[in-house]
Amino acid sequence: MEHLQQLLSDLECISLADISAIPESNQHVVAERLEQLQDELKAVLSSNDE
């Protein structure tokens, strides 16, 4: 679980400036998927804390 917590922390550090560095046609998809992954990781990690 330690690695998943670190992954979540790393994902949260990705900024809009980072995303804007990739081709514009992919920006929306990447941003959306990053957000979904963050949400899913938060849910898993919080359910393990309970």
Cα–Cα distance for residue pair 34/11, rounded to 1 Å = 7
- Tell me the per-residue pLDDT of 1-31, one tens digit each, with 9 for 90 and over: 899 999 999 999 999 999 999 999 999 999 9
For 5, residues 6+ apart whose C-beta sits below 8 A from its C-beta are 45
- Residue 31: half-sphere exposure toward Cβ, Cα within 13 Å: 14
**Contact present, 27 and 20 (Cβ < 8 Å):** yes
- Alpha helices by DSSP H, listed for the chain, are 2-12, 16-20, 24-49
Q: Provide the pLDDT confidence category of residue 49 given band limits of 50, 70 and 90.
A: confident
How confident is the model over 26-44, as a mean pLDDT? 96
Q: What is the pLDDT of residue 31?
A: 96
- Tokens at residue 32, please? 């959306």
